[in-house]
Chain A
Amino acid sequence: MTDVGIGTRATAAAIAAPRGYGTLRRLLRHRSFLIGFTIIALLAILAVLAPLITPIDPSAMRVRLRFRPPQAAFWFGTDQFGRDVFTRVLYGARISLFVGFAVCVVSGLCSAVLGVIAAQLRRLDSAIMRLMDALMSFPAILLALGIAAALGPRVSSVIIALTVAYIPAGVRIVRAAALTVREMDFVQAAQVSGASSLRIVLRHILPNCLSPLLVHLTFIFAYAMLAEAALSFLGVGIQPPIASWGNIIAEGRDYATQAWWVMLFPGIAISLAALSLNLLGDALGDMLDPRLKGGE
């Protein structure tokens, strides 16, 4: 017997397939979803409420207070200009989370549209997919680096650069899902009833491609935040004095040995956000996949 275990999982899944439970209720019972969601929501709230939490101006320089280690007055210490690192990390969260979210939304929309077009209109398929292959043949970060450098150092150019870099993967996911869904009997049933292609796409194909895309986008959110940090670190992203997690680390780099806290705390923030998004994505993947299979 070389195939020990075949069928076990399927049987367990079939038995365990819930009847009558809402996805939301199941998500709220999923531990890693809860942890991931709580952390990212907390970060978002802190970012939005930053001016209420800390009265200090993130760009205010106080030369007398340079390089103060973490203490009661400055939780995360101060940097080479005497700016409060805690305040800067909070304000940086606004930029980093916004960039992540924006990239997520824009690349998600583009992926959905291009992916479904590629799957439905066979004539455009190869054109779209070759373009995606071309984009994919560059490492995403190099591509983003090039585009961001060309467009100039602005928040919008970081978003555009990262969106372009992450679209190909999303298009591939949507296209693959759409190709599977369009062969399913319920699509054919709509065809027998004389449904138009537009109706089939909007009512049947698109809604059933969203789960895998959604899972993918939570990871894109995390990647985009990390990439923003990398671009800012390399100097083509968000420019000082505006704080982003990436450029706080970049600025702190030269003083790493004498003031480790300047790099450490934004670093922790990035890791925490990326970790929570990954937990969220894994949980969504767990929860949404069996439903796509229809509960055989």
Chain B
Amino acid sequence: MVDQPIVEVRDLRKTFSVKHAGGVSTLHALSGVNFEIMRGETLGLVGESGSGKTTAGRILVGLVPAGSGSVRLFGHDITGADGKAQLAKVRARLQFVFQDPYASLNPRMRIGSAIAEPLDIAGGWSRKDRNGRVAELLDLVGLPKTSIDRYPHEFSGGQRQRIVIARALALNPQFVVCDEPVSALDVSMQAQVVNLLLDLQDRLGLSYLFIAHDLAVVRAVSTRVAVMYAGSIVETAPKSQIYSDPQHPYSRALLDAVPRADPNYVRHPVVSGEVPSLLDPPPGCCFHPRCPFAFERCRVEVPILRESGPDRRVACHLFT
């Protein structure tokens, strides 16, 4: 079982219908996504708005139904005919941490009840065990026990994110999807939460799917990184390589665009253009209208994610 990935995503596709004045259009949120996550590993899923990274994360925990393709969690296919039943079997092993710590706690629920909610839903916890578990979880995320009777509005963003993490860990999950968990926090709070997630991974052997909109935070947490663009993964590589040697032109652009805290840094030319409309994606490679290296083939043929080195894959015609 050790070598078996705990998450296996194969050719995952998802479309949404968008209503507008002229009728209904199809939005291609995910067009064939493949990745897997091993036990104890963190996959950093990086992309800008419209890349499909959040949709992918939500499909993994059953918040959004998959379109086509398959998602296997701990060996159970949650996309098949009996997907719901399969999902119910693995439900307790999955959790999700949201981006906005202000919206992810019910303002009318005390912290103690919020953290205990997964326990109450799962059932079978005596009052004493339940309260003991809540105290243990508060301790785990570094909050005082007196927090139990307080309300979310009494806490800052960073503290709320700790509460959300405590709630996510209540049932000892093995796999947690973190959807931009620190993007809404102040810089000095970001580091605290990121380090907490790392500590928890060490202590509890968690696996993460860590979703982010730029490559900076992902560096600290990831074992491997997957870069998404307009509904597809364009590159996956071990962390050390994606930063030192990005292969896909978009990965390079994304890396170059991160502002450096160094006044002497000389910036590479900025990539031009914007993310294409997913209602009407361009033919061929979605990145070709912005790519400085695009040639004829890029405009007609969709590149496939292929092996491009040890443990790394890229979807780019430059590498075939």
Find A185's partner among B98, B122, B171 (CB 8 Å cutoff). Answer: B98
Q: Is B121 an interface residue (CB 8 A)?
A: yes
Cβ 8 A contact of A195, one of B63, B109, B117, B167: B117
Partner of A295, one of B102, B109, B167: B102
What chain B residues lie within 8 Å of A192 (beta carbons)?
Answer: 61-63, 94-96
Q: Answer whether residue B164 sits at the interface, using C-beta atoms and an 8 A cutoff.
A: yes
Interface contact B107-A292, CB-CB below 8 Å: yes
Give every chain B residue within 8 A of A195 (Cβ-Cβ): 117, 121
Q: Is the CB of A190 within 8 A of B63?
A: no
Interface 1/0 per residue, A186-228 and B, CB below 8 Å: 1011111111100100011001100000000000000000000
On whether the beta carbons of B61 and A295 are closer than 8 Å, the reply is no
Bound complex: CA A184 to CA B105 (Å): 9
Binary B-proximity of A280-296 (CB < 8 A = 1, otherwise 0) = 00000000000110111
Q: Are B98 and A188 in contact (CB under 8 A)?
A: yes
Question: In the bound complex, how far is the Cα of B98 from the Cα of A286, in angstroms?
Answer: 29
List the A side residues contacting B114 at CB < 8 Å: 186
On whether A295 and B106 interact (CB within 8 A), knowing A193-B118, A195-B121, A199-B121, the answer reads no
User: Which residues of B are found within 8 Å of A296, using beta-carbon distances?
Assistant: 102
- The tally of residues in B whose CB lies under 8 Å from a CB in A reads 32
| Total number of A residues with any Cβ neighbor in B under 8 Å | 25
Inter-chain contact A189/B107, CB cutoff 8 Å: no
Whole-angstrom distance between the Cβ of B141 and the nearest chain A Cβ:
15
Residues of A within 8 A of B122 (CB): 193-194
User: Does any Cβ of A come within 8 Å of B104's Cβ?
Assistant: yes
Knowing A191-B63, A192-B62, A192-B94 touch, does A186 contact B118 (C-beta < 8 A)?
no
**In contact, B117 and A194 (Cβ under 8 angstroms):** no
Min CB–CB distance A224 → chain B (angstroms): 27
Give the distance in Å from the alpha carbon of A80 to the alpha carbon of B98 in the complex.
71
Q: Do A189 and B108 touch (CB < 8 A)?
A: no
Complex CA gap A97/B167 in Å reads 46
Docked Cα-Cα span, A296 to B153, in Å, equals 9
User: Beta-carbon contacts of A4-26 to B below 8 Å, as 1s and 0s?
Assistant: 00000000000001011000000
B 52-77 to A, binary, CB cutoff 8 A, 1 in contact else 0? 00000000011100000000000000
Q: Is B154 an interface residue (CB 8 A)?
A: yes
Whether A207 touches B96, Cβ cut-off 8 Å, given contacts A189-B164, A194-B88, is no
**Structural contact, B153 and A194, CB atoms closer than 8 A:** no
Main secondary structure of the interface of A (DSSP, over half): helix
The listed residue with most B CB atoms (<10 A of its CB), out of A193, A195, A196, A208, is A193
Option from A20, A186, A194 in Cβ contact (under 8 Å) with B106: A186
Map CB proximity to A onto B116-130 as digits: 1 under 8 Å, 0 otherwise: 011001100000000
Instruction: Please name the residue on chain A nearest to B171 by beta carbon.
Output: A193
Contact of B154 (CB < 8 Å), options: A20, A188, A196, A204: A20
B199 CB to nearest chain A CB (Å): 22
Q: How far is the CB of B198 from chain A (nearest CB, A)?
A: 22
Given A188-B96, A192-B62, A195-B117: A208 in contact with B104 (beta carbons within 8 A): no
B90 to chain A, nearest CB (A): 11
- Nearest B residue to A186, CB-CB: B106
Bound CA–CA A295/B102 (angstroms): 8
Tell me the minimal C-beta distance from A32 to chain B in angstroms: 23
The reply to whether B108 and A208 form a contact with Cβ atoms under 8 Å apart is: yes
How far is A195 from B104 in the complex, measured between Cα atoms in Å?
15
Residues on B with C-beta less than 8 A from A207 are: 106, 108-109
Question: Nearest chain B CB to A85's CB is how many angstroms away?
Answer: 46
A186–B121 contact, CB under 8 A? no
Is B91 in the interface zone, CB < 8 Å from A?
yes
Q: How far is the CA of A120 from the CA of B202 in the complex (A)?
A: 41
Q: Which 8 A-B pairs have the closest CB atoms?
A: A185-B104, A193-B118, A185-B98, A185-B103, A207-B108, A186-B106, A192-B96, A294-B102
**Which residues of chain A have a CB within 8 Å of any CB of chain B?**
17, 19-20, 184-186, 188-196, 199, 203-204, 207-208, 291-292, 294-296
Q: A193-B91, A193-B118, A294-B107 are in contact. List 17 more A-B contacts (CB 8 A).
A: A184-B104, A185-B99, A185-B100, A185-B103, A186-B106, A186-B109, A189-B98, A190-B117, A190-B121, A191-B62, A194-B121, A196-B121, A207-B109, A291-B107, A294-B103, A294-B153, A295-B102
| 20 A-B pairs with C-beta separation under 8 A | A20-B154, A184-B104, A185-B98, A185-B99, A185-B103, A185-B104, A186-B109, A188-B63, A188-B96, A189-B98, A189-B104, A191-B62, A192-B63, A193-B95, A194-B88, A194-B121, A203-B109, A208-B106, A208-B107, A295-B153
